[in-house]
Structure 1
Amino acid sequence: MEKTLEKPKGKFFEEIHFLRAFACIGVVLVHLSASYYNQHGQTFNWLTFALNQLGRFGTPTFALISGFLLFHQVKAKGFDFQRFLKSRFTKIIMPFVVWSVFYLLIKVIVLNATLPSGQDFIESFLMGASFYHLYFMVIVIQFYFVFPMLQAIRTKLSWMIALIVSFIVSAFFINLSNFISVQEGLGALLNNRVFIFTWIFYFIFGGFLAYYWRSITKLVTSQAKLLILIAMVYVLAIYEYQIMGSIPSNRMTNLINIPLLSIAVIGLFPVIQSRRILYGPLKLIGTLSMGIYLVHPLVLLFLNQVLPHTAWATRGLPIMYILVMLLSIGIVQAIRKLSFVQYIIPVPRMQNK
């Protein structure tokens, strides 16, 4: 008879905060570097292009974390369908609706955009096209629809099968244009970046990481080797985009890169924890990561509107990055004081002292 995996203890793994921070830092890098190119008529230089491409590890890492947290919660508390629906509706679906409506208003009032009407508007809204970053929430919501069926993954053998199958499925949909026309109809829908099957491997690997946490973390004891691993992944990523040009987050190599980077970041947690100058800021960014994800495009839009063109010189990018982060954190912290914060951003409510 197959051996069922050890029942977990109900503790939260602090390392996930730092994996969230890693993902959040990457996503903000992508959008900030794109502002230099899109908003100010500049072309990418070697630095902004490198940051734009290397930051694209962020979105699939968020997908992995989403899978980890869901499967870990089931391990710790069991699966209650009604509780699951209520929790997901509050923490993801409501914030998605709130921010979609908010950014639509921003597009109309600030950017003077003309919105599609009728069925086109509904499709655009449901596909997360209200603003450029909301598509990720649609991907996560789709995963919630299939997650109840994934409860069957409980044994070592079933996890191995799930990993292999999800890897093949994601690889197939990443390369879908090689097999069918993706210009219109069903092919265009399946090739849309919000379609779950492109990302399913990351969710499944996150669940695998939750179930095998203790075994995996025992294998990552050498910080020096982990730093070398991270350096190798980034060097190969630089080589890849120099050969291929601009590559999206859902690229084939990320099916290998993201698991390796995630395990390496988790393994480096003791080093981060021992250095207060890193520990505090990264823990804050990790805790507020989804809030930062939701509000940072608003901050970028504001800065693009009010700052002069000269402020966007490449040499000022580090200062601009810090400014975007600080303003985003400030907005999230203000929202956290609201009693109904759970319907706006999926972060813990600020406790009154």
Structure 2
Amino acid sequence: MKKPKIAEWTELRGLAFLAIVMQHNIAEYIYRPDIEQPDSVMLTMIYHLTRFGTPTFVFLSGVLLFYHHRHIKPDYPRFIRKRFGDIYMPFFIWTFVYWLAVRVFTPTFWTSGMPDLGSFVHELFIPQTGYHLWFVLMVFQFYILFPLFLAGAHAVRKRLDNLKRFTSKQVTLTIILVAAILYLWLMKWSYYDMADWTQSWPDPWSSMLEYRSYSWLLYWFYFLLGAVCAWTVESWRNWTLKALPCMATVFVAMYIWMGYDVLRGSENTMNLNISTYLKPTTFISIMAQMLMLYGFLVLLNGKNLWFQRLLAWIGRYSFGGYLVHALVIYAIAYVTRPLHLSGWHLPVAIISFVVTVVTALGISWTLSKLPGSRLSVGLTRSKARQVTSFSNSLAGSGRRTRNQNPPLGSASKN
């Protein structure tokens, strides 16, 4: 039997995609030398509203993997083959597209003879031109290791079922709290200590620490939280609703603190790296905001508002949109970088964000209708037709229940 489709997961994914696109547009404008302080401060404030994007994709990857396999042991060779086709092949193709796109606009590319294919191989391990594609490499590690995670989840679940002194909810909450403390400690090491370790440790350890953000080890807590959500969907929904006021309060407090932290640590140019994912205070802010948004979407469940339908549509095509959006930003920057935008960086960044979202999702939607769509955007044409058909019937009926929300597609499309 097909499992019920959970509406808020698709909508949350749409929000996460929008947040990431906004982050990358802000990064394009905030470091320009002609930016004025009011624009710089406002862009920093907007930036701190978007930090939940990437960790939320990790959370949703864990949610969907455990939700669809919690009672079914996956056939590992088939499981990896499918994920390789849905995730890694689009990554490979778009890595080549970014590598080639950057070079064809370089005069030496046409005069140097054979292109440097070694640099392309390097991009497959440490993406630079497609700077956002590191996330696909990182999240793919969770799929490779998923059978181990699933076995561990089943072992924990078996122990919870045999508990007598404590309830399973109490033990689950304890596990989450202990894991959060351990993860906070890991973030402390990452932000405050590991930079020094890279200077003192020999290779290959120093190189591994330098690129630590490419490793699943730095994001495992979000994946763990996704497993908890997948195994206890209704309890998770009820808890996020009850915790909504608390999470909103924590997020507002951390949002103010993060803004102050960046202002205090920056000089002439805002240093957004102060708010990196791998920092304890950023982690607390992300968790509060993500749980707040989840509770908010649960609160709206079944209302079928226009922006819910829009977020759901964005969520369905978000993987392709994610893959292509940096290329759109490159194209916009080709026009805007020669311009003098003093006093206009904020509005231009917002306009660029809108253009990027519309163009990237339009390209993703178009590619999903063409042959080879699985290799380009990780979505087969049959699935795309189902999505369109469902969307049309949904718009006509004006009704939606939790079980009627269309499928999200592959769990890894981030």
> Considering the TM-score relative to the shorter chain, is it more than 0.5?
yes
| 1:219 counterpart residue number | 239
SS in 2 for 1:128: coil
For residues 207-249 of structure 1, the C-alpha deviation after alignment (integer angstroms, 9 at most, x for no partner) is 2222233222112335555544543443333233334442223
| 1:187 counterpart residue number | 206
Paired residue for 2:26, among 4, 29, 33?
Answer: 33
Bigger Cα displacement from structure 2, 26-35 vs 298-307 = 298-307
CA distance in 1 between counterparts of 2:145 and 2:186 reads: 15
Alignment of 1:188-337 (within 5 A): 188-192=207-211, 193-222=213-242, 227-244=248-265, 245-246=271-272, 247=274, 248-273=276-301, 274=303, 276-307=305-336, 309=339, 313-337=345-369
CA distance in 1 between counterparts of 2:300 and 2:328 reads: 28
Matched letter for residue 131 of structure 1:
G
Matched letter for residue 133 of structure 1:
H
1:48 aligns with 2:43: yes
SS in 2 for 1:331: helix
CA distance in 1 between counterparts of 2:233 and 2:209 reads: 33
| 1:5 counterpart residue number | none
CA distance in 2 between counterparts of 1:255 and 1:204 reads: 14
Contact 1:92 1:137 in 2 (8 A): yes
Matched letter for residue 81 of structure 1:
Y
CA distance in 1 between counterparts of 2:309 and 2:354 reads: 15
Contact 2:328 2:360 in 1 (8 A): yes
Q: Do the aligned partners of residues 238 and 126 (structure 1) sit closer, same or farther apart at CA in structure 2, a change above 3 Å counting?
A: same
CA distance in 1 between counterparts of 2:259 and 2:380 reads: 36
CA distance in 1 between counterparts of 2:3 and 2:179 reads: 24
Contact 1:39 1:304 in 2 (8 A): no
- Higher relative contact order by CA 8 Å / sep ≥ 6: 1 or 2? 2
Matched letter for residue 136 of structure 1:
F
Residue 94 of structure 1 deviates from its aligned partner by 0.5
CA distance in 1 between counterparts of 2:281 and 2:293 reads: 18
For residues 241-290 of structure 1, the C-alpha deviation after alignment (integer angstroms, 9 at most, x for no partner) is 33444222332224333333222212111444536232122222222222
| 2:376 counterpart residue number | 344
Q: Do the aligned partners of residues 293 and 315 (structure 1) sit closer, same or farther apart at CA in structure 2, a change above 3 Å counting?
A: same
Bigger Cα displacement from structure 2, 220-229 vs 207-216 = 220-229
Paired residue for 1:104, among 99, 106, 111?
Answer: 99
SS in 2 for 1:153: helix
CA distance in 2 between counterparts of 1:72 and 1:58 reads: 21
Report the TM-score when normalising by structure 2: 0.73
Larger Rg: 2
Contact 1:61 1:202 in 2 (8 A): yes
| 1:3 counterpart residue number | none
Contact 1:67 1:207 in 2 (8 A): yes
Residue 205 of structure 1 deviates from its aligned partner by 2.0
Residue 177 of structure 1 deviates from its aligned partner by 1.8
Residue 51 of structure 1 deviates from its aligned partner by 2.3
Q: Do the aligned partners of residues 276 and 338 (structure 1) sit closer, same or farther apart at CA in structure 2, a change above 3 Å counting?
A: same
Q: Do the aligned partners of residues 221 and 143 (structure 1) sit closer, same or farther apart at CA in structure 2, a change above 3 Å counting?
A: closer
SS in 1 for 2:377: coil
Paired residue for 1:163, among 169, 173, 179?
Answer: 179
Paired residue for 1:60, among 44, 55, 70?
Answer: 55
Matched letter for residue 328 of structure 1:
A
CA distance in 2 between counterparts of 1:207 and 1:116 reads: 44
Percent sequence identity over matched residues? 23
CA distance in 1 between counterparts of 2:217 and 2:108 reads: 31
Residue 31 of structure 1 deviates from its aligned partner by 0.8
Runs (5+) with no aligned partner, structure 1: 1-7
| 2:134 counterpart residue number | 135
CA distance in 2 between counterparts of 1:182 and 1:144 reads: 32
Q: Do the aligned partners of residues 46 and 88 (structure 1) sit closer, same or farther apart at CA in structure 2, a change above 3 Å counting?
A: same
Alignment of 1:50-129 (within 5 A): 50-75=45-70, 77-110=72-105, 122-129=121-128
